[in-house]
Amino acid sequence: MEPAIVTAAAYGVETAVEGGVAAYYLSKSTLPLKGHLEHVTTTDRLSRYGHTLSVISDRAYVFGGSEDPNSQSLTNDVLELHVSTDENTTTAVLRSIPAVGDGEQNTASVPLARTYHSATVARNRFFVFGGSEKPSDSPKPLEENGRVWVFDPLSSKWTFLDPPPDTTFPFARTKHVSTSSPDGSVIFVYGGLSSDQVRLNDLWAFYLDEGKWSRLPDPPGPPTSGINLTCGQGKLWRLGYSDDSEKSTGSIPRGQIDFLEYPTGGTLDDVSKDLAQGHMNDLKSNIQWETLDFNTSKPSEVPSPRESAALHFITTGNGRDYLLLALGSDDKEEFSDIWIYQLPSAQYSGAKMKDVVREKLPGVDSHRGEWSRLQISGIEVGADEEKGGAWTSRRYFGSSMTGTKQLMIWGGLGPRNETLGDGWRIIID
């Protein structure tokens, strides 16, 4: 056979193989995702609800919260969990860190004990805002005039950041949420309950370098009970529900994903003055909220509306990004499910190019804008199962990301209103 013919034939086989491989990967579904759970206990039981969990490196920090729904006892100690990376170890070493300020002994300020506050991680520290001194059903928030508390794990000491005089800052609040930008320059605080037990729908940004607050445009629609917020793709993401009967599917409220794109390396316009002057529809802002609907004719294909759930941004690489929603409750039941929402793929990414091709292929779906339950392949509880290693529904728990596609939860109230004292790692395979 002529060499040219052999070369052409070999090229044809190689092209066919490459085409087959490409077709295989293009046909691989991006939903549902698979994952597994790892149970985590402690050397001493750590029962908490209404607390926060902040993971920094291989340490998890529990702050605030209450041990018992019938108790008024709170502590301002930080509880450190050393979470081993050894998959064969499910017990975390517990250490209690008393509240100490970074200053002269007995004069430096430390945060009061609190519950129903928020905490988020940035710059290898965690930042606490708001909360209440009493774990009641209608908690009265602490009035701290916009102060943000900062805990540094290296020194095991507290400092605080106060906004400059004559600047705006958020109302005191409880049961709100917070998140931080990936570069650690901004902390965002959203929603919650005011001192009059009014549901809030305001969004604030605290710039760590400037040390000041700016109010951002409110998310669309009225305040909702199931507040949540997470950050990724240069956007803030919020899962919302509408009770508008014209927009609902049967008895299921219409669900939507709202997002707000923010610039990197800069600050956003403060809309406080516009809102104070009643300019609700004429805000002088360089950003606006946008909405992704996830209406469906099958209510079983979307998560039920819920409060006290965890919402996190996860990525599996090459621009393939998702939102993860876990646990929570409504006024009738607690949930133990975990849901995944596939976000539009990041611009100029490998995932984006694949989706463009997928949408042109017959029988292949990109799954963009769809929900799916996380397929849990196994629950690993190790030797600590007798300590309560059962995956169960819970609310008022703490959660924090431990990687780009894994997170940790701790504590909360269980289905019998009992205070839980264990944790779980949720790992996307």
Confidence at 383, pLDDT banded by 50, 70, 90: very low
**Sheet of strand 254-261, all strands in order from the earlier edge strand to the far edge:** 230-232, 235-242, 254-261, 289-293
Residues 106-133 have pLDDT tens digits of: 566 999 999 999 999 999 999 999 999 9
Q: What percent of the chain has pLDDT over 90?
A: 54
Q: Alpha helix (H) ranges present in 260-416?
A: 272-276, 350-358
As given in the structure block, the two tokens for residue 250 are 């049967």
* CA 137/CA 417 separation, integer angstroms: 13
Q: Which strand (E) or helix (H) includes residue 428?
A: strand 423-428
Task: Return the residue matching tokens 């990301």.
Answer: 401
Name the phi and psi angles at 248, rounded to 5: -95, 160
Contacting residues for 26 by C-beta, under 8 A, at least 6 apart: 354, 357, 358, 361, 364
pTM exceeds 0.75: yes
Name the CATH superfamily, with its identifier, for domain 35-428: Kelch-type beta propeller (2.120.10.80)
Give the per-residue pLDDT at 71.
75
Residue 68 CB contacts under 8 Å (≥ 6 apart), including other chains: 47, 419
E strand or H helix at 178: strand 177-180
| One-letter amino acid of 224 | T
Q: Taking every pair of C-alpha atoms in the chain, what is the biggest distance, in angstroms?
A: 92
Average pLDDT value for residue range 393-417: 94
pLDDT tens digits along 84-110: 766 655 678 899 999 999 876 556 699
Check whether 265 has a pLDDT greater than 80: no
Closest CA to 312 of 423, 398, 224: 398
Distance CA 391, CA 167 (A): 46
- Strand-pair partners of 230: 237
Q: Which neighbouring-strand residues pair with 214?
A: 205
Where do the DSSP E strands lie in 195-309? 199-207, 212-216, 230-232, 235-242, 254-261, 289-293
DSSP run (H or E) holding 351: helix 350-358
Q: With 60 as the cut, is the pLDDT of residue 20 above it?
A: no
